[in-house]
Structure 1
């Protein structure tokens, strides 16, 4: 490596590799499980290119903060404003009020480059609900721009190359160390600019060495590039969503990116693989492609009953490429490379401010709920207070103890044990309690079936052990078991162990089978139906709904185990389909399997006679 180079097409090729990894991770996570490492590659490229520009301008005495941020505005704002505005407009017709409110908050946060902080407190990048956040991917822009608030100022103030080198090493080492130390705090480690700064510093190392301490020429730059590309590709295929990331694992794609940049200028392999016309074009449109692909995938899925098929995901990717090229050619290039004027910069800044205000207005207006009929607005019901989430319906990731209010001391005493779907029975059980005085005990935990063995997590197994001890101590008259999950070979042993343990305690045991499982989620299904047909979903539907258990087999199994079995499916479903609404307007479920308050009351009302019979004193 000699003097700082001019335009290097292989770096655009490396951008193409990075953006392709991210796009195909989002579209085909089953095939590219670690494609999210493409963002790390982008950070290295950004650190290399932008640090190099800052070093040169400070050394020449031409650096100004105004000029630096003017370039950032011209580079980032045009495509970002277009994408966020388009997503807001499309979501007006697609998203229910609660989801639209969340989108408004995402737009507002992204407009001030704080999306990473917003998602830090809202959703993990690998959480199951990520498909409900159309602008989740903008977290990386937040990290990068937060870094560039401080880095140009630091370089300008330090003013000497040796001081820059010290700063690069100090910031990089501290950032990497913090990332490794925080690897068990996934969201903090993933979203924080502090734990990501070392990746940008990795690029800054290359930029500094080119200018002030050139490395000796490598005899075989092709080998260097090959190793670098192998590290990037291997990372995208071998690292997955279960890994603590970034931590030390991000060193693999970061090191790979550094090697490609270091050896790429003299490598024939880089020229062949990264500097060809198609790859360079993808690199040139990588920024708008990154912006477009995720909202296209998310909003496409939002208008369907089911997740996108492989073909549909492929079409979404093709559409993203087309939008990216059009944005690059018609919006980005004319503004970025056109005549510079303070008026144009003012318009861009004003456009970003207007976008932020639009997002804020969406939040303050509660998502403009009047966009949809009352039946659809009701379908967006939130988790009822009666579930007592965080107190009697535990999140085992952070909670292990039930609150005192979960235990009543009135006889007869009914105890509810199960997962969050059991917690959703509480509104109906409260109504039953008002009619027939009795005590209620709620010992429920999210994603934790009431099994004493079988395919459950360690936290769930520990929780169920505590519940067994609680029930043994309070000795309820009736235990109502309910959960969302399969009844197969792997779970039957667990159910048998649970029932055997309860028999030793002595209550009457009722197993309530799962409620209907709506594959896409009932509110989303109702919304999709309305968007595509401009009609309400029929009051009963047989499309995209499943019964998780075979009722006859379940009844036989639990009866043989000494428990009474009640089918929830038969309450909600008949030959015409399953109830989608109650009383012509109230939705039956708030998602795939959790009942609304009215749905819970309807279910408990329907089986009231069996519950009251179980609560009566036994014949002596």
Structure 2
């Protein structure tokens, strides 16, 4: 199929939508739909390339993927390398660790998975994530690991009609999943390929439509196009996207591609406007460069006014043109694939790893982060998980030695089990320092994001369910003197009111108070006494990095659930003890020290780091 000039213009519109949206301009247009345009265009073009090759009997997988590598990897690698160098001097070690992790995930085209697990696309941390925009590239590449093989086999063995039917069926399933999952978990639906595949498949179906002779779109299609534009403004909302509302931009993109195929149409004439085509040709470089620029400017407090934004965007367009000419075109037409792979994969990985390693050395850490480098090292120390089996759902009921925090051989040994989420795991160093070489044997079965309460689970997590059931079976069948429960209580309680973060086995919402009461009763009936540890103060971003601002690093105690547990203990002192952990480093409600013995004790806004935890000495009276 010959080149369609209007597609360059459509690319230009798509990338300008995204760029202006990220520069916070013309926000009445949901600019993130530009990515949906790209998905449709990409599905159309790849299908065109593959099917044309099959029809001419000269399609070659090696040639296909070689072209993809030459087209994509060189400029991506340059941008990634630039970002890792520049932000080394702007990010603190915690932020840079996350950036480095995103580079590794991007290397294997899994950055969308990484960002789903961390920041999400619309999350508050997005503006501090310079490689966030690479999620869409990962979605496309994941799709193209499977799609070319599916297309070639289906085309040759099923024929064109059955192939089209198969694409419609798969696309319908993907659209259904997109609508359904968006209502349940919007970040998952936004970032992962199985809820985006229908958009690429829509582009593929457009190809099969326009290769038919004399294809024309009647008034009905024109009316739907106008309605889709209206719907894009009225119904597209980032909190419920992609879902059903993604149908509007996808239909618009499909309609415009069909119209562009007719070079005599007004649509083709408009989209073939030279400036739009120019922006379209450099759209890949512009897309890659613009978001790191936004993050960089935001870090320097840039004023994103309309005039300032336009000036910066024009500069980015010029840089993108240079990048397009010097990097994209040079590598795209080189004959040596090994040269491309070496320069695009091996060297950037080696250099990025080297930069990260150097940044970890004390000398360079001090040069870059100044006198605070020691505090950053504290923040990066995480309480060990002891062993994989102790931090996964596979609890070894026969052998718990690998999960021991402390062990006593004395005749009067007190056996203690520590359970809960990561707010229990954070006390491993504290328990080691407080109870080693004494009469206490302490076992840790905590698990991240799992509160370990009887028949109360987080968002229907099967892993959490299995772990909780195994642990309570262990409590019932083993003789523990004490069971210690520690959690991020306010995360599950909504300040001790009904919340949608805890569910029972049947999926019904659970009240935290009832779940705690049920857990205490079960543990007591099993012959053990319960100790509940209170939360630690939750920090704001300014408080977390207080040492950067030269502040006192003293905060107020905002643990709202402590009074409730204290009251519950006073009424049921024979059944459980409550210990407010904040008392170990808070003098009163307005003086909680974040730096103890020149050690910063937090690793994020609600967890202790390993060095800090080891400084908290729990009293022996807790288990007497």
Q: Deviations over 1:331-371 (max 9, x none)?
A: 42684499977999799987992786244233245252133
Q: Decide whether aligned partners of structure 1 residues 518 and 428 sit closer, same or farther in structure 2, where only a CA change above 3 A counts.
A: same
Most deviating of 346-355 and 94-103: 346-355
Alignment of 1:103-502 (within 5 A): 103-104=99-100, 106-107=102-103, 110=106, 114-117=107-110, 120=113, 124=117, 131=126, 134-142=130-138, 144=140, 169=164, 172=167, 176=171, 199-207=199-207, 209-229=209-229, 236-237=236-237, 240=240, 254-263=250-259, 287-288=284-285, 290-292=287-289, 294-295=291-292, 315=304, 323-332=312-321, 335-336=324-325, 353=343, 357-364=347-354, 366=357, 368-370=359-361, 371-373=364-366, 374-385=373-384, 387-388=385-386, 390-394=388-392, 404-405=399-400, 406=403, 411-452=413-454, 456-459=458-461, 460=464, 464=468, 467-486=471-490, 487-490=495-498, 491-502=512-523
Distance 1:252 1:217 in 2: 17
Q: Decide whether aligned partners of structure 1 residues 343 and 394 sit closer, same or farther in structure 2, where only a CA change above 3 A counts.
A: closer
* 2:544 corresponds to 1:549: no
- For 2:507, the equivalent position in structure 1 comes to none
Q: How much does 1:381 deviate?
A: 2.6
SS in 2 for 1:435: coil
Q: How much does 1:12 deviate?
A: 4.5
Q: Deviations over 1:381-404 (max 9, x none)?
A: 34333x336433446xxx677783
Contact 1:171 1:197 in 2 (8 A): no
Q: How much does 1:517 deviate?
A: 1.9
Most deviating of 328-337 and 472-481: 328-337
- For 1:580, the equivalent position in structure 2 comes to 594
* 2:26 corresponds to 1:47: no
Q: Decide whether aligned partners of structure 1 residues 87 and 211 sit closer, same or farther in structure 2, where only a CA change above 3 A counts.
A: same
Q: How much does 1:261 deviate?
A: 3.0
Distance 1:152 1:455 in 2: 41
Count the aligned residue pairs.
574
Distance 1:169 1:494 in 2: 52
Most deviating of 164-173 and 545-554: 164-173
Q: Deviations over 1:562-608 (max 9, x none)?
A: 34332222222346843333331x331222222223322222x1x32
Distance 2:587 2:269 in 1: 63
Contact 2:93 2:376 in 1 (8 A): yes
| TM-score normalised by length of structure 2 | 0.68
* 2:613 corresponds to 1:600: yes
Q: Decide whether aligned partners of structure 1 residues 321 and 277 sit closer, same or farther in structure 2, where only a CA change above 3 A counts.
A: farther
| TM-score normalised by length of structure 1 | 0.69
Contact 1:412 1:439 in 2 (8 A): yes
Q: Decide whether aligned partners of structure 1 residues 180 and 475 sit closer, same or farther in structure 2, where only a CA change above 3 A counts.
A: farther
Q: How much does 1:421 deviate?
A: 0.8
Q: How much does 1:223 deviate?
A: 0.9
* 2:515 corresponds to 1:525: no
Q: How much does 1:42 deviate?
A: 0.9
Contact 1:12 1:274 in 2 (8 A): no
- For 1:308, the equivalent position in structure 2 comes to none
Structure 1: give runs of 5+ residues left out of the alignment.
305-311, 616-620
Q: Decide whether aligned partners of structure 1 residues 19 and 120 sit closer, same or farther in structure 2, where only a CA change above 3 A counts.
A: same
Most deviating of 48-57 and 508-517: 48-57
SS in 2 for 1:414: strand
Distance 1:467 1:72 in 2: 49
SS in 2 for 1:515: coil
Q: Deviations over 1:65-113 (max 9, x none)?
A: 9999999899767864664344223211133456545544644775xxx
- For 2:535, the equivalent position in structure 1 comes to 514
Q: Decide whether aligned partners of structure 1 residues 178 and 283 sit closer, same or farther in structure 2, where only a CA change above 3 A counts.
A: same
Structure of higher RCO (CA pairs closer than 8 Å, 6+ residues apart): 1
Most deviating of 324-333 and 463-472: 463-472
- For 2:571, the equivalent position in structure 1 comes to 560
Most deviating of 422-431 and 574-583: 574-583
Q: Deviations over 1:478-501 (max 9, x none)?
A: 232221122523433433333344
Contact 1:103 1:359 in 2 (8 A): no
Distance 1:53 1:179 in 2: 23
Distance 1:444 1:65 in 2: 48
SS in 2 for 1:415: strand
Q: Decide whether aligned partners of structure 1 residues 40 and 567 sit closer, same or farther in structure 2, where only a CA change above 3 A counts.
A: same
- For 1:7, the equivalent position in structure 2 comes to 6
- For 1:307, the equivalent position in structure 2 comes to none
Contact 1:228 1:256 in 2 (8 A): yes
Most deviating of 117-126 and 275-284: 275-284
* 2:595 corresponds to 1:570: no
